[in-house]
Structure 1
Amino acid sequence: MGDSSYLNQHYEEHVRSRIDLVNSLMSLGVEQDLSLPAIAVIGDQSSGKSSVLEALSGVALPRGTGIVTRCPLVLQLKRASHGTAWSGRLSYQGYEVGLEKPEDVGDEVIEAQNTLAGEGHDISDKKINLEIFASNVPDLTLIDLPGIARVATGNQSDNIDEKIKKLILQYIKQQETIILVVVPANVDIATTEALRMAKTVDPEGQRTLGILTKPDLVDKGAEEGVVKTLNNQAIRLEKGYMVVRCRGQKDITDGMSLDKSLQKEREFFSNHMNFRIFLDERKASIPHLSEKLTKELVYHIGRSIPLLERQVIDKLEQTSTQLKLLGDRIPEDEAGRVKFLTGKILEFTQVLTNVVRAEEDLEDSDTRVFTKIRNLFKVWKAELDEKDKRLKRKMDAAAMKEYAEQHRGKELPGFLNYRIFEDLVKGHVKELEVPALDLLRCCKDIICMNVSEITTKFFEIYPYLMREVRINLEKLRDQEYKRAEKKLKSQFAMEKMVYSEDGLYIEKFLVVKSETEADKKSNSKDSDFDGTTQHLRAYLKITTDRLVNQVPLIVLHHMLDQYIGQMKEAMLGILTHKKFEKFTEERSDVAQERKNLRSRMERLEEARQALNSFVPV
């Protein structure tokens, strides 16, 4: 690769600083979080992709039939000063091995692929990093991706083609990625799957560069089509096309060195009637491709740095927000855990207190619990009023006379004994008991759902604590619900006893009498029962007034004040529970997520520092 003297020292520093910046970001692993400028190399199987990479890197990569590249291979080429011995380093998933000579590369890559993708022909999306330090390589980073298979062969999975395309798309769909499409010169480029895939993600060809290989295999007389492609007159790409001639299998078998291959390549293009013009235009040969790729990548990196800085800042903010949503990490020492859990419980009980006071935060709901319950109480009041209206319509003098006749004992005409009056009261009260119990159940559901949501919000990531809290909640809920139910039934049992304070009763009777005064003439022939009807309506109004307030008071007392009030006491008792240490254990997935987020924060912080300290040469 001695033809690389086109780079002067200043340009070398300019190139190295930018590529080193991206390589350092890659080594931090930030490509998991944001898209880094890169060159992805794709091609159909047997397109000559491996030969191009070998020529650029100066090392022999795995060769063979079928899928040879089975994992993404990040090839980091770093130019060393003249006279520096060749060295390399291969790493993947925490494993790292030093390489002393180029011949070691192929076997190590195969072993890495077998480890990540298994023995055979399957693929994996796990990356292998290969760093090469040599005086005869350009400063360049390339990502080699599996060759596109048309159909499964041998022991390959039936959907191997879909898996490969999915993996390739993960890389080439990123707008920060330059797509290097390798296509044999002796085939119709319009039929190649690699170029078709590049077009799907880069339809205008803004970031795609075409590389034609195997020009020596082009049939005589077919050179015009290759020339047309190289002149960007076939399928247009903004970055155009280049052509290279690499070692073939016979050259490798004959032991031809890469340096000798470069010499033969130059001779081929220099002596070719149709292609030599492209050598002069720097569109042919591996050295010119090396130069082109380096310039493209360096330009791409320089243009991407401001965007990377913004992305890092945005990702840091997002990650910080996600960590806050997970809450503070539990201290490891016992005193710290006690303090942490005490604070958590006090905060929880304060939120419950706010629910009772109708002062809870509305960030997760647009209606407070007390407001929802109050709306149910309005429905209860409306139901009582409606029953009162229906009773008024039913209790005219004619109806009362008919009822009295049906239930009459020894009474003389016009009389209604006390037992009949009491039966009417009991019948009316009985109709109200079921709606009252329904009201209790609905209010319980609203309150318990809200308390459950609060509990989940506070303790979901602490499974043992969550279980203990829910046990206490259910126990107190059932206890207070039963007490409220018992008290309501007791209330309705008492309502079946006819009683009212005399002054209150007379006051209510006079109001009813005044309301029905105008109806006396029309009911004059049944006037014997007018007074009885008025007495009954007056008493039932008193019953209604009692129930419209008493039922909600019973509900509120037991399902809010007592239920939540006792919950606060039960929560404080957790601090002395024998399973206290268990209560501070996080759910395993949350602990892992917290670890991942902290790890992301660390690498993004390092990435920000690297970007901030970068000084363009």
Structure 2
Amino acid sequence: MDQHLISTVNRLQDAFATLGPTTNPIDLPQITVVGSQSSGKSSVLENIVGRDFLPRGTGIVTRRPLVLQLINRPKGQANGTSDDAPADEWGEFLHLPGQKFSDFGKIRDEIVSETDKKTGHNAGISNNPINLRIFSPNVLTLTLVDLPGLTKVPVGDQPKDIERLIKEMVLKYITKPNAIILAVTAANTDLANSDGLKLAREVDPEGTRTIGVLTKVDLMDQGTDVVDILAGRVIPLRLGYVPVINRGQRDIEQGKAITSALEHEREFFENHPSYRAKAQYCGTPFLARKLNMILMHHIKATLPDIKQRIQTTLAKYQGELSQLGDNTLGSPSNIILNVITEFCNEYRTILDGNSQELSSLELSGGARISFVFHELYSNGIKAVDPFDQVKDVDIRTILYNSSGSSPALFVGTTAFEVIVKQQIGRFDDPSLKCVTLVYDELVRILSQILQKPIYKRYPALKDRLLSVVIQFFKKSLIPTNKLVQDIVSMESSYINTGHPDFLSGHRAMAIVAERMAAARPPQVDPKTGKPVPAAPKDPMAASVMPPVVGMGPGEENGGFFNSFFATKNKKKMAAMEAPPAVLKASGVLSERETAETEVIKLLISSYFNIVKRTLIDMVPKAIMLNLVIFSKDEMQRELLEKLYKSDILDDLLKESDSTVNRRKEVQKMVDSLSTASEIVAGVN
């Protein structure tokens, strides 16, 4: 049963092999072999297999990950015979299904050939793995991933950043939590400088899933050993260390058999004074048994989680495949009709706030339009101050101009209306800006809807739909802007001084009189020294008297004309020179002018506030009527008219290359995950 678990993981690896190393959705338990070029990785693997089958040479020999699945087959099970020795051991490549390699030299040649196909002959590297199965009665069922040896200096045509490229590739494999790291280090070097252990400690700092292999133990200086390392007193690892002895380069060149090398390894550990007491825990056979046991325990611990992740991932990709579609949705006319109907329903849903995907992090849809109305527009209208452009001296000039050739007896209605109408015109810009802001929000909703997969699938339909809706919105802007401008024009076309909220002229005059009386210093009786109560003075009383031109500056008549004559001497005044081409008022306002100005300002403020309240109420209603509600009601008719045409349906439903390619990728993923689901279904 335990061997069956490793076989199950092997079958899962095969199921996902076609997806490539970067797209494998499930992190499967596996033993990854890391080490520097000179550490003896290849020799360790060949000793475990008992065969020469890996490429040899200088520089980087392993240039693609090699997924090596060792499968124990009792002798004679291969072809049903027991005397056909070559058929008892053979290899199979996943990229050559059904082809058996009994000659292990040809396995080496195929590894070199397949590596060159992906990387060329310039010693480059590739993430794409080679999957090799070896069936033999001499191996324990085991799965290892041989990774390129770590190097620091590029050789020949290798990229200048070869060290970084190899490190990134190795990290992709050993970072996965389900990877057991087999860190190979030469015993005759300083363990602290081991490239394999350094990299392993980056992703496994506690050493919980790293096992160390010490090679070249027989090449250590006389009197030295690795006992302290094996005891965990140097760099401790939870899974410990295993010392092994590989064939040297001379042994390989002289054709020394691996069986002889394994016998030499056994004799070395049994006879060496430092290791003979623990010889049964040293050597390649023990390493293979330990790896087999570690892998089986690891698979047992992780298989329930793997089952769950396979089902979850399968459901996710099946959902994506459903969204991408399978070209069986029906006739083109039905597809277009369904898309238009769903688009319009989604548009109305987002505007009304009835979406099932309401965000708790930010405002969206209709809520943003409400924000435009009640925050941006309302505050923008309230911020318009009629007196930031019209100063007191301007009001005085308008008052005199509005009375014509005869001085006014009372504060003129004409002056009030002129100023109010001028200032109401300032509401045009913020009101039209409000229309633009709401239009932008509708476009935002449109963009949000078009992010759905169906529109990515049909880019031509998406572009056409976007164009039609934008034009529809722009067409709706014309009557909306017209209505908003008309509302503002209505306010300036008729000044309703009979409005119940409008401050009356008499009330305004009374308020100004009270303010001015309160501002006057009290008169004191010179005899008693006590304040003399003054009779209330009507500040507007002076307005019933015609201004006397001959009065000097500061006299009761007022300051408008006096300011002109103040700069002239009596001789020039007697000459009665013609007034200048541009006659402007200057100087300080008299008490009467101040009173008149303050009354006008009170009346303007009162009426201006009435207009503000009206616009804040009416402009959003106009925008809702002619833009928002209109778009909700007429959008579907517009889209049907522009898109539901038999001569353009096929063009609209032409799928994008990215959709076609993504569907193939997702379909391949679904197929692999479905196969994986079947594989693990029967495993308890």
TM-score by length of 2: 0.76
- Does the 8 Å CA contact 1:508/1:542 hold for their aligned counterparts? no
- Does the 8 Å CA contact 1:35/1:174 hold for their aligned counterparts? yes
- Does the 8 Å CA contact 1:360/1:368 hold for their aligned counterparts? no
Equivalent residue for 1:75, pick from 44, 68, 74: 68
- Does the 8 Å CA contact 1:411/1:417 hold for their aligned counterparts? no
Partner of 1:87: 90
Q: 1:411 to 1:57 in 2, by over 3 A?
A: same
Q: 1:400 to 1:451 in 2, by over 3 A?
A: same
- Does the 8 Å CA contact 2:182/2:213 hold for their aligned counterparts? yes
Once the two structures are TM-superposed, the CA of residue 38 in structure 1 deviates from its matched residue by 1.2
What secondary structure is seen at the aligned counterpart in 2 of 1:112?
Answer: helix
Task: Give the letter aligned to residue 206 of structure 2.
Answer: E
Where do 1:407-418 residues align within 5 Å?
A: 407-414=402-409
Partner of 1:148: 150
What secondary structure is seen at the aligned counterpart in 1 of 2:242?
Answer: strand
- Measured in 1, the distance between the counterparts of 2:253 and 2:539 equals 128
Instruction: Tell me if 1:614 matches 2:677.
Output: no
Once the two structures are TM-superposed, the CA of residue 302 in structure 1 deviates from its matched residue by 1.8
Once the two structures are TM-superposed, the CA of residue 68 in structure 1 deviates from its matched residue by 0.9
Once the two structures are TM-superposed, the CA of residue 536 in structure 1 deviates from its matched residue by 7.6
Equivalent residue for 2:638, pick from 570, 573, 580: 570
Q: 1:491 to 1:188 in 2, by over 3 A?
A: closer
Once the two structures are TM-superposed, the CA of residue 550 in structure 1 deviates from its matched residue by 4.0
Equivalent residue for 2:39, pick from 18, 31, 47: 47
- Does the 8 Å CA contact 1:59/1:103 hold for their aligned counterparts? no
- Measured in 2, the distance between the counterparts of 1:436 and 1:565 equals 24
- Does the 8 Å CA contact 1:358/1:370 hold for their aligned counterparts? yes
Where do 1:431-510 residues align within 5 Å?
A: 431-457=426-452, 459-498=455-494, 506=498, 508=500
Instruction: Tell me if 1:98 matches 2:96.
Output: no
Partner of 1:239: 239
Task: Give the letter aligned to residue 245 of structure 2.
Answer: R
Unaligned runs of 5+ in 2: 79-86, 515-536, 545-595
Where do 1:507-546 residues align within 5 Å?
A: 508=500, 512=504, 515-516=507-508, 518-519=510-511, 522=514, 524-526=538-540
What secondary structure is seen at the aligned counterpart in 2 of 1:524?
Answer: coil
> Alignment identity in percent?
28
1:536-563 Cα shifts (integer Å, max 9, x gaps): 8887677666544443333222221334
What secondary structure is seen at the aligned counterpart in 1 of 2:180?
Answer: strand
Instruction: Tell me if 1:589 matches 2:581.
Output: no
- Measured in 2, the distance between the counterparts of 1:386 and 1:145 equals 70
What secondary structure is seen at the aligned counterpart in 1 of 2:37?
Answer: coil
Task: Give the letter aligned to residue 71 of structure 2.
Answer: K
- Does the 8 Å CA contact 1:38/1:177 hold for their aligned counterparts? yes
- Does the 8 Å CA contact 1:487/1:554 hold for their aligned counterparts? yes
Once the two structures are TM-superposed, the CA of residue 125 in structure 1 deviates from its matched residue by 1.3
1:388-425 Cα shifts (integer Å, max 9, x gaps): 8869x989xx9977633234323353167776565334
Task: Give the letter aligned to residue 428 of structure 1.
Answer: Q
1:166-200 Cα shifts (integer Å, max 9, x gaps): 22222222232222222223223222211222222
What secondary structure is seen at the aligned counterpart in 2 of 1:576?
Answer: coil
Partner of 2:254: 254
How many residue pairs end up in the alignment? Answer: 587
- Measured in 2, the distance between the counterparts of 1:26 and 1:303 equals 18
What secondary structure is seen at the aligned counterpart in 1 of 2:281?
Answer: coil
Task: Give the letter aligned to residue 653 of structure 2.
Answer: T
- Does the 8 Å CA contact 2:503/2:603 hold for their aligned counterparts? no
- Does the 8 Å CA contact 1:480/1:558 hold for their aligned counterparts? yes
Q: 1:535 to 1:189 in 2, by over 3 A?
A: closer
Q: 1:103 to 1:477 in 2, by over 3 A?
A: same
Q: 1:406 to 1:73 in 2, by over 3 A?
A: same
- Does the 8 Å CA contact 1:425/1:498 hold for their aligned counterparts? no
Structure number with the higher helix fraction is 1
Task: Give the letter aligned to residue 630 of structure 2.
Answer: Q
Q: 1:112 to 1:537 in 2, by over 3 A?
A: closer
Once the two structures are TM-superposed, the CA of residue 76 in structure 1 deviates from its matched residue by 1.0
Task: Give the letter aligned to residue 193 of structure 2.
Answer: T
Equivalent residue for 1:556, pick from 610, 624, 628: 624
- Measured in 2, the distance between the counterparts of 1:62 and 1:357 equals 68
Q: 1:448 to 1:188 in 2, by over 3 A?
A: closer
Q: 1:513 to 1:612 in 2, by over 3 A?
A: same
- Measured in 2, the distance between the counterparts of 1:144 and 1:39 equals 9
- Measured in 2, the distance between the counterparts of 1:512 and 1:468 equals 59
- Measured in 1, the distance between the counterparts of 2:612 and 2:651 equals 52
Q: 1:197 to 1:345 in 2, by over 3 A?
A: same
Instruction: Tell me if 1:405 matches 2:400.
Output: yes
- Measured in 1, the distance between the counterparts of 2:424 and 2:180 equals 82
Partner of 2:592: none
- Measured in 1, the distance between the counterparts of 2:180 and 2:458 equals 46
- Measured in 2, the distance between the counterparts of 1:180 and 1:359 equals 56
Q: 1:136 to 1:323 in 2, by over 3 A?
A: same
Partner of 2:221: 219
Partner of 2:263: 263
- Does the 8 Å CA contact 1:91/1:97 hold for their aligned counterparts? no
Unaligned runs of 5+ in 1: 1-13
Q: 1:119 to 1:495 in 2, by over 3 A?
A: same
Partner of 1:331: 327
Task: Give the letter aligned to residue 350 of structure 1.
Answer: N
Q: 1:468 to 1:144 in 2, by over 3 A?
A: same
Q: 1:115 to 1:473 in 2, by over 3 A?
A: same
- Measured in 1, the distance between the counterparts of 2:385 and 2:208 equals 80
Partner of 1:285: 283
Once the two structures are TM-superposed, the CA of residue 278 in structure 1 deviates from its matched residue by 3.4
Once the two structures are TM-superposed, the CA of residue 486 in structure 1 deviates from its matched residue by 3.2
Instruction: Tell me if 1:182 matches 2:173.
Output: no
- Does the 8 Å CA contact 1:70/1:146 hold for their aligned counterparts? yes
Task: Give the letter aligned to residue 429 of structure 1.
Answer: I
Task: Give the letter aligned to residue 343 of structure 1.
Answer: N
- Measured in 2, the distance between the counterparts of 1:429 and 1:356 equals 32
Equivalent residue for 2:336, pick from 328, 335, 341: 341
Once the two structures are TM-superposed, the CA of residue 480 in structure 1 deviates from its matched residue by 2.0
Partner of 1:8: none
- Measured in 2, the distance between the counterparts of 1:535 and 1:169 equals 79
Partner of 1:162: 164
- Measured in 2, the distance between the counterparts of 1:385 and 1:297 equals 74
Q: 1:215 to 1:567 in 2, by over 3 A?
A: same
Where do 1:284-323 residues align within 5 Å?
A: 284-319=282-317
- Measured in 1, the distance between the counterparts of 2:277 and 2:175 equals 34
Once the two structures are TM-superposed, the CA of residue 316 in structure 1 deviates from its matched residue by 3.6
From the CA coordinates, give the structure whose radius of gyration is larger: 2
- Measured in 2, the distance between the counterparts of 1:369 and 1:115 equals 54
Comparing 561-570 and 399-408, the one that deviates more? 399-408
